[in-house]
Amino acid sequence: MFNVIVNRILTGFYYFFGFLYILLFQLSIIPLWLPVFVLRQIAILTAKWRRDFGRPLSPTDALLAEDVTKKHTGSAMILLTLKGIISAKELRVLFTKNVIEHRHPKQLQFPELKQYQTKHFGFIFYRDDPDFKIENYIHPDVSQQRDPDFRSYETILETVSYRPYPPKRSAWEMFVLPNYKDPKLQYDDDEKEPKTLVVLRIHHTQIDGYSLLSLLITGLGRKTSYVTPKPKTLQNTEVLNVSNPLPKFIEGFVNLQKGYLHNISFKRWLVSSNRNPQSVGKVHHRMCPSISKDLVKKIAQRYNVRIPSVLMAIVTQNLERVLVKSKNMPSHAFASYGIPMPNHPGSLTLHVKVGCVSLSLLKKNLVVRMKEMNAEFLKLRDDPTTEVIRYLGSLFGSLFPRMTKFFLRNSAYVPFSITNFAGDTEGFTIGGRECLNLTGTCGPHEDISDALIVFMGHKDHINVSICVNDNLLSGDEAEEVIQGVWNDFNAVVKQVLQC
């Protein structure tokens, strides 16, 4: 009885001081935020008088805004391997008809593809490109280079990821590579039928993973039966009651600040350890060979964990093997885990919910890692930090871009970002050509993260990719991580199948 009373008293103090902390935060930020918010509403109102202006960049989208006319890393990239040959000319016709000019029901479904981002009253809006030509966006190849070594998936991604977008053009482009073969992959003798690689690059302020899938599958692929899966990991399953929201928000706010403070120490360690003295601000893209979805399910069932727990445990184990080579490595890091919200509109937007998970960087058994990652993912079902992140994102994303950038740089750093989404299990075609493989990656935003880990499902397999700044991992280390993922996965599969 005594312990119960003491525990309630301590809990009361926790919520009391947490409430004071949030109150002080609100009182300090409102004098700065309120006049800017009012000016933003004026900008939105006056923009409606401009016939060539589109929607403003939403606060969530604005968190990832950057000058895309200069070297940057914030673009998402999707690679589609199509069976057969399709030319850039044919793809331009299909893309214009099925995507650019497609209306749902009467409004253009993807108007941003014909609009560029501009500032109005200091805020970012979409504006019509009066000289829009599809030839400026869909190109017959990535480069004039014909060296086979240049044409690997990873080299192509690293080449196009830095490209500045032309001024006053929408921030996307597509490259078409007929008769494509990745020189790093082994091909069977019966795989003689030619293939076409299509690379879609689009800035992350315009899309999330499901926006891309909607554009490609229901748009370009014209598959009307495709339905965006509803994510369950971050859904709040608890029955809402009036006594719960405020304590939960306080708990989430305090926990989030603790996580960010720890990540600041991780950033200091990263700088002081000088992990890669040759770092020049380059981003490395590495992709694992396709992993069987059925085999991942067998592992998950064998150890009673979720599929993402299996994949993330294997990735984390290999990160630990590489990072442990540096002295005084932190024992763990807080990573962001983002998935689209269930009511995703299907248009181009960044409509996600983000939670935080702890990644252990200590050496431990892989099964133990799976159990720990599973516990982290299960906590996200009712994780109060997800609502706090949405609140802070809407608050700071509605400020001037420079102010948003300052906030992100100083208080929102996460070493690793994780995203996981399933594509179409049945597959789809583009212009009558079957999509054999669909994979993707995205550059980590310079003010938020140093590495982005992507799990993308397509048909009966899952693709794993990592995109990492060279101050965290060198190119060889990134290769070591992704090769270790492949080797560890096969080792676990062998172990499970033998049981």
DSSP secondary structure string, 256-304? HHHHHHHHHHHHHHHHHHTS-TT--S-EEEEEPPPEEHHHHHHHHHHHT
Give the amino acid at 367.
Answer: V
Q: CA 18 to CA 289: how far, in whole Å?
A: 47
DSSP state of 165: P
Domains of the chain, earliest start first: 54-220 (3.30.559.10), 245-498 (3.30.559.30)
- Quote the pLDDT of residue 380: 81
Q: CA 386 to CA 373: how far, in whole Å?
A: 17
- Token pair of 467 as six digits: 């995109």
Beta bridge mates, 337:
355, 418
- Token pair of 392 as six digits: 């802070």
Q: Find tokens 């370009």 and name the residue.
A: 220
pLDDT digits (tens, 9 = 90+) for 394-427: 888 898 988 888 888 877 888 999 888 766 677 8
Residue 3, pLDDT > 80, answer no
Q: CA 14 to CA 137: how far, in whole Å?
A: 55
- Residue 415 dihedral angles phi and psi, to the nearest 5°: -60, -40
Cα-based angle 61, 62, 63 (whole degrees, multiple of 5): 90
- Token pair of 402 as six digits: 């420079």
Instruction: Evaluate the omega torsion of the peptide bond into residue 105 and state whether it is cis, within 30 degrees of 0.
Output: yes
pTM score, two decimals?
0.88
CB atoms within 10 A of CB 268: 11
- Quote the pLDDT of residue 210: 79
Residue 150, pLDDT > 90, answer no
Band (pLDDT 50/70/90 cuts) for residue 151 is low
- Can you tell me the mean pLDDT for 336-349? 77
Q: CA 176 to CA 38: how far, in whole Å?
A: 45
